[in-house]
Each structure stands twice: as C-alpha cells, then as structure tokens.
Amino acid sequence: MRVLITGGAGFLGSHLAEKFLADGHKVIVLDNLITSTVDNIAHLFGNENFTFIKYNVVNYIYVKDDVDIILHFACPASPLDYQKHPIHTMKVDSLGTLNSLGLAKAKKSRFVFASTSEIYGSPQIHPQDESYWGYVNPIGVRSVYDEAKRFSEAMSMAYFREYGIDIRILRIFNTYGPRMRANDGRVVSSFITKALKNEEITVFGDGTQTRSFCYVDDMTEGIYKISLKDGIEGEVFNIGNPEEISIINLARLIVELTGSSSKIKFLPLPEDDPPKRKPKIDKIKATINWKPKISLKKGLIKTIEYFENILKK
Ligand code: UDP
C-alpha cells in the first residue's frame, strides 16, 4: 500500500510511519514541524520506501503518485501546544482536514482521521462510548482543539455521505511513550522529566481528576489494524486503554518508579480541565480484535528509560 501520513514526524505519526514501513508499505510523510521534529523520523531516511516532505497541509496538497490510505494526524496535540498555536490548530483541523479529504477524493484513497477523546469535552457520562455526543465549551481555552476536531469529524462524515469516501474516525485517548517531547507540557512527559531531575512535580488541582493512559505501541497497533480493515467506512471508534488513574496517583507511581526525591507541588487546575476520562473500547475490540496489552506500570518503565537517555544527551 502507499500511505500518506500528515503529521508523520510527530509522536504518533512517526510510530505509524515506522510500523507501515516495517510491514513493507510505502510511506510519505507531510509535516511542517511546528510541534514535531525530524529526529523522530531520521532513522527512516535511508529506507527507499520512505519520503518526507516538509509541508503545511493547511495549503493545497499536491502528490504526484497514487495514494491508497491517508492518515490525517497533523495537529498540535498537547494542551500547552494547542493553546500556544490556537489559530494554527484550528486551521490544520479545518483547512488541513478539507485538503486531506480533497486529496482522498482525488486519489480514491481511504481516509483515517485522528480524532480525540477531547471531543467529549468535560464528559457527563463515564466511561465514554462512541454514542456520547460530548459536553464541550465552544469558547473556552481548549475549544480550538475540541471544536476543530469535532469539525473534522463532521467534515469526514460529509465526504463519506456525499462522495462515498472510505473514511474512519479514531477517537484517541491519552497516549504516552517514547518520542513525546520532554517539554510538551503533557502530564506523563512532565512528571517523568521532573522526577528524573528531582524537581518538584506539579499536580494541577487536587489531583483527583482521572485519565486513562495507553502505551504508544498498543496505540500504533490499533491504528494500523483499523487503517487496513475493510468494511468499516463511516465508522467511529474509541481507541485507548481503559486503565484509569488519578493524576495524584500517577505522580506517586512515577516518583516510585524513578526512585526520585521529588516533592509534589499543587497548582491551580487549568480552565476546562476534564475531571474524568476513560474510554469504552468494546466496539474496536469487536471489530479488529484489539485491546491494549501493556500495563501502565510496564509502559511507564519503558518511557522512563527513554527519557533517561534523552536527558543524558
Ligand atoms: N497535569 C498536571 N500537571 C502537569 C501536566 C498536566 O497535573 O504538569 C494534569 C492536567 O491538569 C490534566 C492531566 O494532568 O488533568 C492530563 O493532562 P495532559 O496535559 O497530559 O492532557 P489532557 O488529558 O488534559 O489533554
């Protein structure tokens, strides 16, 4: 297959590029490197099946060759990043989605959209399944991400309904692992880097808010299987690990696993920070026989090793 990945130099995109190449597919990555780095894909440059184009998909996308699958993964994804680049975030998940869908129509490609658990906003039901419509503040600080992703879901469905494009939507829940940026502001990368430096760990609010964290290898496997699966056009799937933990317990676990002397410091809870988040994953389980295999503890140990090496450099 010929696969095009927007945002393919990012955290998830680069793992996907690697996975498709390892299985003998051709991969084109488009990325403007706003919140990603070529370091994530440098090891792929020698592969004759790999092409990297530094490009902002907010602009019209031209690709000469045929493309079988487009994965639209370009977008600043951490709350810190998307609040730093609010307009670009809205553009990449509106104009960028439109251009990527236009390319899918022109090339008759399958389209896989990287949506998010954020489309559920501050969920009023728990855990969240795909039938839930969400509870989103349309003008809050997180809205640039939430609403752009919701728009992209609607746009993907419009291309499915009007042109019969083979789209599928993945609502990706919190994911962590190697190639997260140390300074991306996300909770796992922040806590690990601070613990390794024996600096204060900043817990926002009282730390009772929960998240459910999926290790990147499990996530990559699930996205890969959904991308290759026939007969699921127009479908939406939650993807993530339902193992839920409070942020304060995550901080304690990371302190324990790193053997750190860090103290925990409490800071105010950011605006619209969702109090709970946990996916129901019955639908994806039933569709591709996928479920996460790596426990939080095991995944954190691998991620700590990665950051130890990064910090040594
Ligand atoms: N968080 C925290 N300290 C940090 C970074 C994040 O307590 O240094 C909390 C944040 O308030 C949220 C959770 O950890 O409740 C997950 O935050 P993250 O930015 O990783 O992603 P989100 O799930 O909110 O998109």
Note whether residue 271 is domain-resident. no
Q: What local confidence, expressed as pLDDT, does residue 312 receive?
A: 87
Residue 206 lies in a domain: no
- Domain annotation covers residue 181: no
With respect to residue 150, please indicate whether it lies within any of the assigned structural domains. Answer: yes
CA distance 279 to 172: 9
Per residue in 123-159, pLDDT tens? 999 999 999 999 999 999 999 999 999 999 999 999 9
The residue whose CA is least distant from atom 5 of ligand 1 is 187
Give the pLDDT confidence score for residue 313 in this predicted structure.
80
pLDDT of residue 209: 98
With respect to residue 199, please indicate whether it lies within any of the assigned structural domains: no
Residue 193 lies in a domain: no
Q: Which residues contact 18 (CB under 8 A, 6 or more apart)?
A: 44
Neighbours of 275 (CB within 10 A): 12
Which DSSP symbol is given to 200? Answer: P
Residue 267, in any domain of the structure: no
The minimum-distance atom of ligand 1 relative to the CA of 203 is 7
Which ranges constitute the DSSP H helices of the chain?
A: 11-22, 79-84, 86-92, 95-107, 143-163, 187-196, 216-228, 247-258, 282-288, 296-312
What's the number of domains the chain is made of? 1
Specify whether the CB–CB gap between 169 and 97 falls below 8 A.
no
Look at ligand 1, atom 4, and give the residue with the nearest C-alpha.
Answer: 187
**pTM higher than the cut 0.85:** yes
User: Looking at the domain assignment, is residue 119 inside a domain?
Assistant: yes
**pLDDT tens-digit series, residues 250-280:** 999 999 999 999 999 999 999 999 999 999 9
- Counting residues of the chain whose pLDDT is more than 70, the rounded percentage is 100
Residues counted in the chain: 313
Answer yes or no: is the C-beta of 247 below 6 A from any ligand 1 atom: yes
Q: At what angle do helices 95-107 and 143-163 cross, to 10 degrees?
A: 20
What CATH number did the domain enclosing 70 receive?
3.40.50.720
Q: Is 74 helix (H, G, I), strand (E, B) or coil?
A: coil
Active site residue 145: yes
Which spans in 205-290 are helix H?
Answer: 216-228, 247-258, 282-288
Percent of the chain's residues with pLDDT above 90: 99
Atom of ligand 1 nearest to the CA of 189: 20
Domain carrying residue 223? 2-176+214-241+277-293
Among 186, 202, 248, 252, the mutation site with the greatest number of ligand 1 atoms within 8 A of its Cβ is 186
Query: Are the C-beta atoms of 248 and 200 separated by less than 8 Å?
Result: no
- pLDDT of amino acid 135: 97
